[in-house]
Amino acid sequence: MATLRFTKDHEWIRVDGGIGTVGITDHAQGQLGDVVFVELPEAGRKAAAGEAVAVVESVKAASDVFTPVSGEVVEVNGELTGQPALVNEDAEGEAWFFKIKIANEAELAGMMDRTAYDAFIKESH
């Protein structure tokens, strides 16, 4: 079964077999408003946990998307390039940003599960 974790920067990562699928949370897309552009990393890019690897732009603001774990980007969601509004429609599903081969699964330990993330959002507002 895939493990779903969340960061304080409002990214999610779904881990399955050493590969993490990464996107922004539904809360984050709601704060951004209408998404008009997504810049994705190149496949093959190596990144450290917490590094900005993508950008999401809305009518209100542009925000960096950080990788929650270290590793190598193995796939990007090309659909977002032509349909950035997909982020507003299904942020935690079809609108994933990239898949990363996880270099160190121990980095997942400090992340929140859904219950902790929901509590974090409530405390933040």
Share of the chain above pLDDT 90, in %: 95
Is residue 97 within 8 A of residue 40, CB to CB? The reply is yes
Q: Is residue 30 part of a domain?
A: yes
Q: Is residue 118 part of a domain?
A: no
Q: Check pLDDT > 90 for residue 2.
A: no
Is residue 64 within 8 A of residue 52, CB to CB? The reply is yes
Q: Give the pLDDT band (50/70/90) at residue 75.
A: very high
Q: Is residue 117 part of a domain?
A: no
Indicate the pTM of the whole model: 0.96
Q: Is residue 72 part of a domain?
A: yes
Q: How many CA atoms lie within 13 A of 56 on its CB side?
A: 27
The H or E element containing residue 64 is strand 62-66
Q: What is the CATH number of the domain that holds 91?
A: 2.40.50.100
Q: Check pLDDT > 80 for residue 1.
A: no
Paired with 75 in beta bridges are 99
Q: Give the pLDDT band (50/70/90) at residue 124.
A: confident
User: What's the domain count of the chain?
Assistant: 1
Spatial distance between the Cα atoms of 60 and 88, rounded to a whole number of angstroms: 13
Quote the domain boundaries for residue 8: 3-104
